[in-house]
Amino acid sequence: QIKESATLTRDVLEQHFSDLKGTLKKLLDERLLSLLQEVDVIEQESIKPLDECQKLIEHGVSTADDLLREGESAVDGDVGLQNEKLCNFTKKALHIQLDSLPEVPSLVDVPCLSAQLDDCLLTILKNQIFRHGTVASRPPVQLEEFVEKPGGILVRWCKVDDDFVPQDYRLQYRKSTASHFEDVYVGSETEFMVLHIDPNVEYQFRVCARGDGRQEWSPWSVPQLGCTTLVPHEWTTGLEGYSLSSRRNIALRNDSQSCGVLYSKAPTYFCGQTLTFRQTVGQPDRRDSLGVCVEQHNGCDSLQRDKAVCISTNGAVFVNGKEMTNQLPAVTSGSTVTFDMEVVQLGPCSNEGGNFKLRVTISSNNREVVFDWVLDQCCGSLYFGCSFSHPGWKVLVF
């Protein structure tokens, strides 16, 4: 574990600083290009009037030189042509202003470029770089417990640093054969039910935390392996009134007029486990039901019958078809309904018959009812089921 975590830490540090160097070089190159472009703009804008002034002066000098040569020619020419040339020379000289020059910018107005570079940047960067990154050997949170669930694992973690005040936790997992972790939960709870877990396959988990008022996450906990040997709960396929998800753990009551009880694919609920339903609500009906039963009865349209216990969407609890006086709150969207059962045996029990009692706890919206369910046969496993009269209900089971 020490060698593996040390190797992983080295890899993370090397990759991080490699990325950092690349980013810094890119930023410095971009800043250099920006400054060079700024020099080009100042140079072009400042030299333009001086270039124009130079052109005017050169043009005036050239004109004066041409006029001077023409005057010399007029003086040196024949007497017959001299008067005509002198006349032309005089007219040109009167129209050319040789005593004026364009305004030349004052020396103080002419830009003189220079680069202003603050050496304190290196000092600031040096101090920041030397404080960047830490190596921790004691993460403030660690994984505490894995609880097998049908097609899932309930993961619990705890704080191990008394001085650390957590704000959020972050749980990740991956198959043992995978190379990358992925987020599965971020929040303030200290446990999370990870679904879509393949049975008898090892998964690796790790957790970290974010301190109160902080943005950065703490170091990861020691990775631990978890798995489940329990097959996932699945709804049975083929019932006309219900549509199922790809993993068949979510059932949606559709618009079909057909009604009936949607059962589990197999009797996968065992005493000692917790069976959980999470639902999105539709229009309630007094015949609606969520619960467990000993066997499937395809002719019934509700679990409010013999050899079954259930809760209606209005909160009524039924045992073997009879409504109890105790009632739970009505089922709401996003809430969970849980069933817990333990065996309390009365009298001889055999495959041929006998008194068999299960202590049942049904919980909904932070309230629960507890009662004994007496059966005439031993039941090692039970079916679960649901029935809804109106469309829009959606139930996840785990």
DSSP structure string for 231-262: PPP-BPS--TTEEE-TTS-EEEE-S-S---PE
- Report the DSSP pairing between strands 242-244 and 356-364: unpaired
Q: What residues pair up with 342 in beta bridges, in sequence order?
A: 359
For residue 260, pLDDT over 70 is answered with yes
Instruction: Please tell me the number of Cα atoms within 13 Å of 90 on its side-chain side.
Output: 7
Answer with the one of 198, 228, 258 that is the final residue of a domain: 228
Encode pLDDT of 169-195 as tens digits: 999 999 988 889 999 999 999 999 998
Q: How far apart are the C-alpha atoms of 76 and 82, rounded to whole Å?
A: 8
Distances (CA, A) of 179 to 7, 67, 182, 204, 222: 15, 89, 10, 11, 16
For residue 323, pLDDT over 60 is answered with yes
Confidence class for position 140, pLDDT limits 50, 70, 90: very high
For residue 98, pLDDT over 70 is answered with no
For residue 131, pLDDT over 90 is answered with no
Is 16 in the same domain as 97?
yes
Within 10 A of 306 (CB to CB), how many other CB atoms are there? 13
Q: Is 388 among the domain residues?
A: yes
For residue 222, pLDDT over 90 is answered with no
Confidence class for position 355, pLDDT limits 50, 70, 90: confident
Q: What residues pair up with 186 in beta bridges, in sequence order?
A: 170
Within 10 A of 371 (CB to CB), how many other CB atoms are there? 15
The secondary structure element, H or E, covering residue 143 is strand 141-149
Is 255 in the same domain as 386?
yes
Is 113 in the same domain as 35?
yes
- pLDDT value at residue 80: 62
Confidence class for position 347, pLDDT limits 50, 70, 90: low
Is 248 in the same domain as 340?
yes
Is 387 in the same domain as 297?
yes
The secondary structure element, H or E, covering residue 62 is helix 2-76
Q: How far apart are the C-alpha atoms of 262 and 256, rounded to whole Å?
A: 14
Q: Is 301 among the domain residues?
A: yes
Share of residues in the chain with pLDDT > 70 (%): 93
- pLDDT value at residue 354: 52
Is 379 in the same domain as 255?
yes
Q: Is 237 among the domain residues?
A: no
CA angle in degrees (0–180, nearest 5) for 337-338-344: 145
Mean of per-residue pLDDT scores for the chain: 87
- The amino acid sitting at 341 is M
Encode pLDDT of 81-91 as tens digits: 667 777 777 77
Is 174 in the same domain as 307?
no
CATH code, domain with 154: 2.60.40.10
Within 10 A of 253 (CB to CB), how many other CB atoms are there? 23
Is 384 in the same domain as 249?
yes
Answer with the one of 169, 194, 228 that is the final residue of a domain: 228
Confidence class for position 344, pLDDT limits 50, 70, 90: confident
Q: How far apart are the first and last CA of the chain?
A: 33
Work out how many domains the chain is built from and give that number. Answer: 3
Is 2 in the same domain as 114?
yes
Cβ proximity of 136 and 221 under 8 Å: no
Q: Is 38 among the domain residues?
A: yes
Is 125 in the same domain as 209?
no
Between 166 and 108, the more confident residue is 166
Is 336 in the same domain as 381?
yes
Q: Residues 150-167: what's their mean pLDDT?
A: 91
Cβ proximity of 292 and 269 under 8 Å: yes
CA angle in degrees (0–180, nearest 5) for 383-387-391: 140
**What does residue 3 show for φ and ψ, rounded to 5 degrees?**
-65, -40
Range of the domain at 220: 141-228
Answer with the one of 177, 195, 228 that is the final residue of a domain: 228
Confidence class for position 51, pLDDT limits 50, 70, 90: confident
